[in-house]
Amino acid sequence: MDRAVALLAAALLLAGLAGCGGSGAEPGAPKGATVVLDFTPNAVHSGIYAAQAEGFYKDAGIDLQVQAPGESTDAPKLLAAGRADFAILDITDLGIAAEKGLELVGLMPIVQRPLAAILARKDGPVKRPRDLDGHTIGVTGLPSDAAVVDSEVRADGGNPAGVDEITIGFNAVASLAAGKVDAATGFWNAEAVEAERQGIPLRVFKVDEFGAPPYPELVLTTTRKELEAEPELVEGMVEATRRGYAFTESHPQKALDDLLAADKGLERADQAAQLKVLLPALRPTPFNESVLREWSAWASSHGLLPEPLEVRSAFDLAGAGG
């Protein structure tokens, strides 16, 4: 009889422990969260992978899962549906989502300046953006490319209407190498680096040097609901991510090791070259409200947004991200 009572007491004790916290998680256990990247893992995400490998997310009480986007991934919709806690979004995608009524909030910049650029061969006729008037430029077909071309040519005193835009998809380097176009749109941290590694001499005209403000290209984002319901989680995510990018700035080779360890398919030489040019733009500083307002006006004037965005509602300027 004593044995039966003892077994019953032990069972009741275990049941009580399992019920603590409601979720079955041990008190103080890290909180699970997911972040969806904007693109396949690469050097621009080095601070996130460094924060994960160095234990910064765990220090903040977060068990973070990093999810690369699939072909059908729509990160804003995943956030709005509660299927992801955070996402890295292009700032224009964040603005479009806000215009569509999705209550998303930018928390912190991931990269501090635009990555878009016009790339032209050094041995070609395009010496500066206004020279594109009367020449060909390869574009992906995305609206952002037209905005970049219009901004750069107009800011340099040329006529955007005289530019012959040819849709080449995401084949800027190959098209430039083959001489199919006089210039192409691309990213100075990706296609421009790839072309240089292939020995293709380029002129690189960055969009914030010709008409655009120095806006943050990529932004860590969550939903308004998550921000209000889980302030500690959001604050911890922002702080740990900032630590990761500060670590990348001071220890770039170790951060590169962390990135490559997380994705064995990446080539060290490629990512090292990208990280080298990116480092000055990866500083983990907060948003600049005046720059965001300039970006909003620029994006609207070039057709990327239907009207200027209310930046104080779309970005967390005073809270965890500001």
Convert the pLDDT of each residue in 90-106 to its tens digit: 999 999 999 899 999 99
Cβ 119 vs Cβ 191: under 8 Å: yes
Cβ 183 vs Cβ 157: under 8 Å: no
Mean of the pLDDT values across residues 145-149? 96
**Distance set, CA 52 to CA 1, 46, 61, 216, 282 (Å):** 53, 10, 12, 23, 17
Give 261's pLDDT tier (boundaries 50, 70, 90): very high
Q: What is the pLDDT of residue 72?
A: 63
d(CA 300, CA 14): 60
Number of residues that this document lists for the chain: 322
Question: Per-residue pLDDT for 256 more than 50?
Answer: yes
Give 189's pLDDT tier (boundaries 50, 70, 90): very high
Q: What is the pLDDT of residue 319?
A: 65
Crossing angle of helices 252-262 and 231-250, in 10° steps, is: 120
d(CA 183, CA 189): 17
d(CA 271, CA 293): 32
Mean of the pLDDT values across residues 305-318? 93
Cβ 191 vs Cβ 181: under 8 Å: no
Question: Per-residue pLDDT for 3 more than 80?
Answer: no
Q: What is the pLDDT of residue 148?
A: 97
113 pairs with which residues across the strands?
none
d(CA 186, CA 172): 7
Give 31's pLDDT tier (boundaries 50, 70, 90): very high
Question: Per-residue pLDDT for 159 more than 80?
Answer: yes
Average pLDDT, the chain: 91
> β-strand 218-223 against 86-90: which pairing, if any?
antiparallel
**% of residues, the chain, pLDDT over 70:** 89
The angle at the Cα of 187, spanning 192 to 78, to the nearest 5 degrees, equals: 145
The token pair that represents 295 in the structure block: 């970006």
Model confidence, pTM:
0.88
d(CA 274, CA 256): 10
Give 26's pLDDT tier (boundaries 50, 70, 90): low
- Positive/negative CA dihedral, 24, 28, 30, 31: positive
Question: Per-residue pLDDT for 278 more than 70?
Answer: yes
Q: What is the pLDDT of residue 151?
A: 97
d(CA 321, CA 197): 36
Q: What is the pLDDT of residue 322?
A: 52
Give 73's pLDDT tier (boundaries 50, 70, 90): confident
Give 282's pLDDT tier (boundaries 50, 70, 90): very high
The angle at the Cα of 208, spanning 205 to 211, to the nearest 5 degrees, equals: 95
Q: What is the pLDDT of residue 25?
A: 46
Mean of the pLDDT values across residues 35-63? 97
Q: What is the pLDDT of residue 320?
A: 57
Mean of the pLDDT values across residues 291-310? 96
Question: Per-residue pLDDT for 59 more than 90?
Answer: yes
Domains by residue range for the chain, with CATH: 31-113+216-314 (3.40.190.10), 116-209 (3.40.190.10)
Q: What is the pLDDT of residue 173?
A: 97
Q: What is the pLDDT of residue 6?
A: 44
